[in-house]
Amino acid sequence: MKEEFAVNGLSETQMYAVGAMKVSLAGTMLVGHAAPRLVRPASIDFAAFMVGAIGMHIKAGGSVKRYLPGLSVFSLATTSAVLNDGR
């Protein structure tokens, strides 16, 4: 992952910050089982985060294989946001 971030001109500190954000958003989505009102905002944030990741892969000239995981997470987070009514 360090090499991937270096290709995009990002530092190791930024890599750890991105990792922490991804874990935090995923954790918030899981907490949504107990507090459903948290799921939609976390899902929207996660989807937006993945748009940034996909954009960075495209900017770096990566193949579809490189940004397919981000596209998958984007699709799942978007689906979660759309289907969750926050009750």
Q: What is the pLDDT of residues 26-46, one digit of tens each?
A: 999 999 889 999 999 999 999
- Alpha helix positions (H), the chain: 2-7, 12-31, 39-59, 64-83
Q: pLDDT tens digits for 59-81?
A: 888 788 888 999 999 999 999 99
Q: What is the pLDDT of residue 4?
A: 80
How far, in Å, CA of 84 to CA of 2, rounded?
35
**pLDDT higher than 90, residue 14:** yes
Question: Where are the chain's structural domains?
Answer: 2-83
**29 to each of 7, 60, 62, 85, how far by Cα in Å?**
30, 30, 29, 13
Amino acid (one-letter) located at 13: T
